[in-house]
Amino acid sequence: MLHTALPSAEAISKAAASKVYDQSGNESSFGNLIQDQKTIIVFIRHFFCGQYVMQLASVRKDALEQANARLVVIGCGDWKLIKNYCETTGYPYAMYADPSRSLYTTFGLVESLERTPAGEQKRSYLGKSFLGNVVKSIWDGPLKNPQFIGKQGNISQLGGDFIFGPGETCSYASRMKHTEDHVEVADLMKEAGVAFP
């Protein structure tokens, strides 16, 4: 599947019935998340990987409101990690868990541990060195919270960035091709008509 191919109507309809969980374990359908307004959905790799979400945290609430858009992050780990993950990254918006990874599968998000290919420019959210990122992920995750070990989600799962809604429509899709391949936040917000920074 082309990494920027929009999901089919059938895929979105199937995804709409999938269940996600908030930081209190409350269940919601994916369709509910995208029903009422334009919704920027970022599928992250796992709950120990936070550099991109830290940059998403700088998206302004007033800018989202002016664009009549909302920002939602979905991870593939246990919902019990969400509260701590939001605190660690400073992310103030909605976040859900898809522990079954059914949405990841439906939207064609694959598994890989490949990093940025040689000769390709690294994304701006990767401020630290690879080793620095790994150390920070380990420190923020299992070292501070050993009870979360093994609950962060599959570390080889790749994420993606989408713009859905209102309703079962999708206007933008970008699936990660490797572990350091989220769309630049500025570019994603531009696609959604959200002023940034």
pLDDT at 181 over 80: yes
Q: CA 21, CA 28: separation in Å to the nearest integer?
A: 6
Predicted confidence (pLDDT) per residue in 20-69, tens digit: 999 999 999 999 999 999 999 999 987 767 788 999 999 999 999 999 99
* Rounded alpha-carbon distances, angstroms, from residue 69 to 59, 63, 96, 136, 161: 11, 9, 17, 31, 14
pLDDT, position 122: 77
> How many independent structural domains does the chain possess?
1
CB burial class (10 A; 0-12, 13-18, 19+) of residue 131?
A: exposed
- Is residue 1 situated within a structural domain? no
Domain harbouring 125, CATH code: 3.40.30.10
- Is residue 189 situated within a structural domain? no
- Is residue 96 situated within a structural domain? yes
Domain region containing 40: 9-182
Q: CA 156, CA 111: separation in Å to the nearest integer?
A: 5
pLDDT, position 125: 73
pLDDT at 131 over 50: no
- Is residue 100 situated within a structural domain? yes
User: In terms of pTM, does the model score above 0.75?
Assistant: yes
Predicted confidence (pLDDT) per residue in 70-110, tens digit: 999 999 999 999 998 898 889 999 999 999 999 999 999 99
pLDDT, position 123: 76
